[in-house]
Every structure is written in structure tokens, then in C-alpha cells.
Amino acid sequence: MNTPLEVRNDTAARALTLCWPAGETQRVDHARLRAACPCAACRRLRLGGAAPALAPDVMLIAIEPMGYGVQLSFSDGHARGIYPWTYLEQLGHGKDR
Ligand SMILES: [Zn+2]
């Protein structure tokens, strides 16, 4: 599994920065991360075509290491999503769901 060397929350740019061992650096917008939350509740909403209305200025406020990924907490109070590294890598490449 590809694990980033460094994970940084760039609050000024509202992006999560991931530095991968191959030397690549990815940036994923906070709003994009929130919209792609992989928790069961959010996934169910997206599958049903009823994606929740999200504030465009939602921010990532905390990163909790989980071994195979990170648990992300957002400024709207949502903190249920655990983002595996592979999922973040996909988001950084512009591929989601
Ligand atoms: Zn969620």
C-alpha cells in the first residue's frame, strides 16, 4: 500500500496536502474532501442521489491518523469519515466514486 510520507492541513489554501514516497505532492480541497466523505451515512446519501447541501467554505479542522488512512473532522461538525490512503490518492488524481 502506498502511504504518504507527510500529510499536512494547509488551512490558508483550504487544502489537504499529501506527499507520496515517489515524490509526488497532491492537494485536495477541503470542500472536495467533505463532499467525498466515505462514511456510511454520506455514501448512502450520494448513492440515493441526495447529496447533502454543503457549505462551500467548509474546512478541515482535524486529522486523526488511523494507520491505513486518516479520520477527518470538518468545521460543519462532521467527523465520521475515515479516508484510506488509496481513496485520498484517487481524490488527488481527480477520480472519485
Ligand atoms: Zn460522512
* Tens of pLDDT, residues 22-67: 999 999 999 999 999 999 999 998 898 877 678 889 999 999 999 9
Alpha carbon of 92 to ligand 1 centroid (Å) = 18
Mean pLDDT for the stretch of residues 67-75: 96
CATH of 6-92, picked from 3.10.129.10, 3.40.140.10, 1.10.10.60, 3.30.2020.30, is 3.30.2020.30
Alpha carbon of 73 to ligand 1 centroid (Å) = 10
What global pTM score does this model have? 0.89
40 CB-near residues (< 8 Å, 6+ apart): 80
Mean pLDDT for the stretch of residues 66-83: 96
Q: What is the pLDDT of residue 53?
A: 74
Residue spans per domain, the chain: 6-92
**How far apart, in whole angstroms, are the C-alpha atoms of residue 95 and residue 15?**
17
Alpha carbon of 40 to ligand 1 centroid (Å) = 7
